Amino acid sequence: MSYEYRKMSPEERNEVVDTRKNQGYPLHAPPHPYRDIGWYLITGTNFEHKPIMHLPTRRATFQEQLLTTFQEIGAKVDGWVILSNHYHLLSGEIGLPIISSALKLLHGRTSRAWNLKDNLTGKRRVWYKFTDRAIRNEAHYFQALNYIHYNPIKHGYVSDPYIWKWSSLHEYFEIQGRDWLRHIWHQYPSKNFGNGWDD
């Protein structure tokens, strides 16, 4: 929705805003209806899907900062992937308001650092507000995990997920092994997971 808004007619924009008002959602930000302690699939996206994290060093540094941030707030992280214009994170055992505050600070720090580095201070917005999906059950959890690990293939970066360095897949491979990963992949296929919101 966020990337389509600018392409809408004034009437379509008004309809979107009215719908959001009626549902009690923020007018120009993703709604976060579930705020309790639980598991969430978190997605952070560079504004207008611009590939601001295109440099491997930037992805590596951001991965370290993201995982450190979640460790500092006491959140458990069971999966992640960092791409050139967005990331996904499977996190739990903490409430969404704490996650939201931590991401606001992290996104602010990285925006400043990257805009300074790219000589775009005051000229470029780096992040869109994060989105979340509450994990409903075990099957949903493993579908989200598989989706995270498959994401570099989905977006055309690689043909083999093991090639992509900025992902939790490597830790699962070392700890659980390839057979476990295959079993989870076949038992909980991600199918159309992400259609309509991660295209």
Distance, C-alpha 74 to centroid of its chain: 19
Q: For the chain, what is the mean pLDDT?
A: 87
Burial class (CB in 10 A: 0-12, 13-18, 19+), 23: exposed
Burial class (CB in 10 A: 0-12, 13-18, 19+), 174: exposed
Where exactly are the structural domains of the chain?
1-30, 32-187
Query: For 50-94, how does the pLDDT look when each residue is reduced to its tens digit (9 = 90+)?
Result: 999 999 999 999 999 999 999 999 999 999 999 999 999 999 988
Query: For 98-108, how does the pLDDT look when each residue is reduced to its tens digit (9 = 90+)?
Result: 999 999 999 99
Residue 100 contacts by C-beta under 8 Å, 6 or more apart in sequence? 32, 130
- In CATH, the architecture of 32-187 is 2-Layer Sandwich (3.30)
